[in-house]
Amino acid sequence: MPDLPPDDQRFLDAYSAASGNKAPQNKRPRPGSIALAVPRYLQSEGFLDLAPGTRAARRRLLDEIRKQLWNALVRDLQTKHVELMLKKHTAHARNNRLKVWRAFGKWLAAEYNIDDPAVNVKKSPVPKSSGHVPWSADEIDRFRSFWEIGTPERLAFEVIYFTGARISDAFRLGQGNVDQEGWLVFNQQKTGGEVAIPFSRPLPGFASGMQSDLQYLRAALDARSDKHITWITTAFGTSRSVKAAGQWFAAKARAAGIHGRTAHGLRKSRSQALAEAGGNSVQIGAWTGHESLSEIERYIRGLNKRKVLSGTETEQKVPTSATKVPTQPKKTGESNA
């Protein structure tokens, strides 16, 4: 973007071109319009303080607002106008847009000395849902049996499952994220918060029973025929987009006979495993990157209470079957496409 004031026409033209939303033909924004307010808001401290992933998602919705309202004056904005724009959406889609409007409306009220047009807009009711379903132990075993060590599917699974990372973070990980002390360190795209997971160092006492999962991950990494900056790549050695990665992984799970399960479900499975092993909320949050107690509690809601109360730490670490980690990759014609 050019280093110009946000109300400079050259800045606005560049902004429209970069966002993919062309300005209405023959309509130059007039002073005090939404068309001028949105770029100003995007340069505000409140917006720039958001995590990069949040900014990217909100910028797309703000571009919609700017394109649709364009020359409408900020001073004329009322609650009914916000509700009219939200009317075409329902449930989570509407609430996500309302969240953007509330932040934008609060900024407009302060900057333009108007009543906040979104403050009284009510959220849409949404059906109760536990979200992504955690994988069961049987489903984890089934995936591992179907996609053996040496396949890209198995590598993606082991990276996601051991780290418990969001897929947007897991697909960016590589050897460069392992520091000199053996921690796997990365900053989350969604929140910007740092995560450090034991990788080539001893696991914490409560998680020592997860050594087999770490061995599986190391075996999958050692079996790679090509080494790239990131561990998980396409057949061409390139990284996948987050959306494509999620769809690709879900398809590979279905191929293994596992339906309705996602990569994010493995994040829940790791959270629950940490809780069942005796990890407290601080320890679970340090591993998964969750920053609020309520979010951690939501992720471990379906944990196995019997495992939590199974007795001594030694009992909790007893495996149900011997761990077998193949030392040689499977010869397979399976494509990573």
User: How much is the pLDDT for 192?
Assistant: 86
Per cent of the chain over pLDDT 70 is 80
Using pLDDT thresholds of 50, 70 and 90, give the confidence band for residue 327. Answer: very low
Under 8 Å between Cβ of 147 and 141: no
**pLDDT tens digits for range 4-50:** 565 555 655 565 565 555 555 547 889 999 999 999 999 999 999 98
**pLDDT tens digits for range 137-147:** 999 999 999 99
Winning range, highest mean pLDDT, from 13-27, 73-87, 303-317:
73-87
As a whole number of angstroms, the distance between CA 66 and CA 72 comes to: 9
In this structure, what token pair is assigned to residue 237? Answer: 């050695």
Using pLDDT thresholds of 50, 70 and 90, give the confidence band for residue 131. Answer: confident
Q: Record the pTM.
A: 0.63
User: How much is the pLDDT for 320?
Assistant: 39
User: How much is the pLDDT for 5?
Assistant: 61
The CATH code that applies to domain 137-317 is 1.10.443.10
Using pLDDT thresholds of 50, 70 and 90, give the confidence band for residue 333. Answer: very low
DSSP bridge pairs for 33: 73
User: How much is the pLDDT for 53?
Assistant: 79
DSSP bridge pairs for 195: 186
Domain parsing of the chain, residue ranges: 9-112, 137-317
As a whole number of angstroms, the distance between CA 188 and CA 52 comes to: 9
Using pLDDT thresholds of 50, 70 and 90, give the confidence band for residue 54. Answer: confident
Q: DSSP of 255-278, one letter per residue? A: HTT--S--HHHHHHHHHHHHHHTT
**pLDDT tens digits for range 132-175:** 899 999 999 999 999 999 999 999 999 999 999 999 999 999 99
**pLDDT tens digits for range 100-114:** 999 999 999 999 999
User: How much is the pLDDT for 298?
Assistant: 74
pLDDT surpasses 90 at 326? no
As a whole number of angstroms, the distance between CA 15 and CA 22 comes to: 9
DSSP bridge pairs for 73: 33
User: How much is the pLDDT for 177?
Assistant: 96
Q: Give me the mean pLDDT over the 317-324 stretch.
A: 43
Using pLDDT thresholds of 50, 70 and 90, give the confidence band for residue 335. Answer: very low
Closest to 183 measured CA to CA, from 168, 167, 195, 192: 195
As a whole number of angstroms, the distance between CA 223 and CA 330 comes to: 9
